[in-house]
Amino acid sequence: MSSPSNQNPLLHHGATLFIDGAFTPAASGETRTINCPANGEAVATVSEAGEADSIKAIEAARRSFDSGIWSSVPAAQRGDFLLKAAEQLVARKAEFALAETLDTGKRLVESELDMDDIISCFRYFGKLAGQEAGRVVDANDPNVISRIDYEPVGVAAMITPWNYPLLQAAWKIAPALAAGCSFVLKPAELTPSTAILMMEVLKDLGLPAGVANLVTGAGAQAGAVLSEHKDVDLVSFTGGLVTGRKVAAAAAGTVKKVALELGGKNPNVVFADADFDAALDNALNGAFVHSGQVCSAGARLVIHESIAEKFVDELVRRAQQITLGGPFDQKAETGALISAAHLEKVDAYVQAGIAEGARVRCGGRRATEQDGAGLGSGHFYLPTVIDQVTGSMSVAQDEAFGPTITVETFSTEDQAVAIANDTIYGLAGAVWSQDAGKAARVAKRLRHGTIWINDYHPYLPQAEWGGFGQSGVGRELGPTGLGEYQEAKHVYQNLNPQVTGWFAQKQS
C-alpha cells in the first residue's frame, strides 16, 4: 500500500552526494537511513559522506570558481537563473514539501509554507543580482577614476541545521549564486532530502559542474573540514552556539570569512496595555510553533506584573489544548521533536528548571498514547509553561529549542528592558503595547537582531536576519545577505601617470 512516507523519491536512493555536477555515492560506500520523527518510519536512504568526500567537493568548487565559469556570467543573468530555479520550486512544491515533512516530522502545511518562503528567497536574490553595480568614489583628482567593485568571495562552505532544512540552505544558496560564488553545502545529517532535490533542480537548469556541491553526512566527519580547508574562502554556518564556536575556531587557522547564525533566548515583552487576546495568541505561536524548534522562538515571556496572573492562567489553559500529531494529521497543531536525543535534552532543560525552584504549570514530560493516539511512537513533548522563574536560572538563560515558555515579571519599563537584554544571545524578541511611542522606545533599547512590535515570527527576504551578541556574526537576507558572499575591491586608475619624484634619481 502507498503511504505518504513511501512516496518519497529518496526512499531507496543511495547516491546522494552531488560533486562536480554528478550524483555519487560516498567514497566509503556508507549510507544512512533517515527516519521520520513522528513515527520512526524509514523515509530515505542517503550516502554518508566523510572527510574525503568533502575534500573532493571543495576541490570541485575551487576548480569551477577559478575557471570563472559562473563568476564571469553577468550578474543579471545569474539573477535570471535564480528566477528559473524559483519557478522549478513552484512546479515541484508538493514533492519538496513532502520530503521536508518526512525528514523533520513537521506538519505538511508548515513545509508548504516553508516552500513559499524558499521560493520568495530565490525570487528576491534573483531580482537583486545585477542591481548593485559597485560605486564610483570621488578621488578629488580629475585624472583619477576610483571605484568599488563587488566581486564573489570565492568558494563558500554552507553548514545548515535540521529545523528548517531547505529554508536555511536557501538563505545561503540564493545569495551565493547571485554573487557568483561556487559552494559546498552540508545539510544536517538528519534532514538531507530537500537539499538533494535542490541539487536536481540546479543540475536540470544547467548550472555548470562544480558550482553547486552537496555532501550529506555528519558534522564531525563531513562538516569539520569545510571550516578548516584552505580552499574555502567563506564558511556560512547556521546551527547551535557550541558548534558555531567550533566552526569559528577551525576557520581561524586560514583566516577565512565566517558568518554565524546561532541560537537565541528570545524575550517576548508584554506590557499591561497590550491587546490581551492578540498578545496571548502570539505568545502561544511564538513558543509552540514547530514545537519550539525555532531559533527565534519566543521562549521567554517577560510580562507586566499587573496582568501576569490572568495572562499566564490563560496561557496554561490554551497550551494544554494544543493538539499534537503527525505530519498528515489534519487536526494536529504542532508535531514531534526531531529525535529521541533532542527530546531528552529538552526534558533535561525542564528538569534543571524544577531543580532550581521553577514551577511547571503544564506539560513537562514526553507525550504518551494516553495523550493521543500515535503519540507514544514519536518524539512528542507536551507544551510546557514554566513560571516562578528568575533571571539567573538556567531555564531563563539556556536555549531549550523545544515547546517550552518561561515566565518572568516586571514592574517598570527599565526592568522589562533589563530582563530582555539579560542573555548572552541576541537573536530576536517582541514588544506588545498599544502605546506606539513606548513600544518603539523599548524596541530601540533591545539588543536583538529582529524586534517585532505587536507581532511574532514574520521574516522577509528583503529584511536582514541575524544576531547580536552570541547569536552570531553577520546577516542573512536583504542586501547585507548578498554582501556576505562578496568582497569589495577598490580599483584606483590614474589616467595621467606622472613621475612622483619621491626618490631622487641619482647617478650610479
Ligand X SMILES: C[N+](C)(C)CC=O
Ligand Y SMILES: NC(=O)c1ccc[n+]([C@@H]2O[C@H](COP(=O)([O-])OP(=O)(O)OC[C@H]3O[C@@H](n4cnc5c(N)ncnc54)[C@H](O)[C@@H]3O)[C@@H](O)[C@H]2O)c1
Residue 450 in contact with ligand X, rule: CB under 6 A = no
Q: How far apart are CA 118 and CA 461, in angstroms?
A: 9
Residue from the set 64, 104, 163, 236 that interacts with ligand X by CB under 6 A: 163
Contact letters for ligand X, residues 195-234 (x by CB under 6 A): ----------------------------------------
Name beta bridge partners: 359. 387
In the complex with ligand Y, the residue whose CB is nearer, 162 or 380, is 162
**Touching ligand X, residues 283-342 (CB under 6 A):** 294-296
Residues 284 and 57: their CA atoms lie apart, in Å, by 43
CB of 294 to ligand Y, least distance (A): 7
The total of other beta-carbon atoms located within 10 Å of residue 498's CB is: 7
Q: One-letter amino acid identity for 492?
A: Y
Residue numbers of the site for ligand Y (CB under 6 A)? 159-164, 168, 186, 188-189, 218-220, 223-224, 227, 238-240, 243, 246-247, 261-264, 295, 399, 401, 427, 467, 472
Q: Between 102 and 167, whose beta carbon lies closer to ligand X?
A: 167
- When the beta carbons of 62 and 290 are compared against ligand Y, the nearer one is 290
Q: Residue 206, SS3?
A: coil
- The smaller minimum CB distance to ligand Y, of residues 78 and 172, is found at 172
Q: What is the C-alpha to C-alpha distance for residues 85 and 124, in angstroms, rounded to an integer? A: 12
**Total site size for ligand X, rule CB under 6 A:** 7
Residue type, 298: G
Binds 160, which of ligand X, ligand Y, none (CB < 5 to 8 A, cut-off by type)? ligand Y
C-alpha–C-alpha distance, residues 323 and 311, integer Å:
21
- Residues 122, 97: Cα–Cα separation, whole Å: 16
Is residue 158 close enough to count as binding ligand X by CB under 6 A?
A: no
Q: How far apart are CA 103 and CA 231, in angstroms?
A: 31
The listed partner (ligand X, ligand Y, none) that binds 167, CB under 5 to 8 Å by sort, is ligand X
Given the C-alpha cell 508548504, which residue does it identify?
112
402 binds, among ligand X, ligand Y, none (CB under 5 to 8 A by kind): none
Residue number, 167 or 386, with CB nearest to ligand X = 167
**Contact of 281 with 451, CB cutoff 8 Å:** no
The reply on whether position 459 binds ligand X by CB under 6 A is: yes
CA–CA dist 98, 103 (Å, integer): 9
240 binds, among ligand X, ligand Y, none (CB under 5 to 8 A by kind): ligand Y
Phi, psi (rounded to 5 degrees) for 88:
-60, -40
DSSP 3-state assignment of 451?
Answer: strand
Q: Which of 70, 81, 96, 164 binds ligand X (CB under 6 A)?
A: 164
Residue 121, interface with ligand X (CB under 6 A)? no
Under the criterion CB under 6 A, does residue 456 sit at the interface with ligand X?
Answer: no
The set of catalytic residues is 261
Walk across the sheet containing 135-137 and list its strands: 135-137, 144-152, 486-494
DSSP assignment, residue 334?
A: B
Nearer to ligand X, 192 or 472 (CB): 472
> What residue ranges bind ligand X (CB under 6 A)?
163-164, 167, 294-296, 459
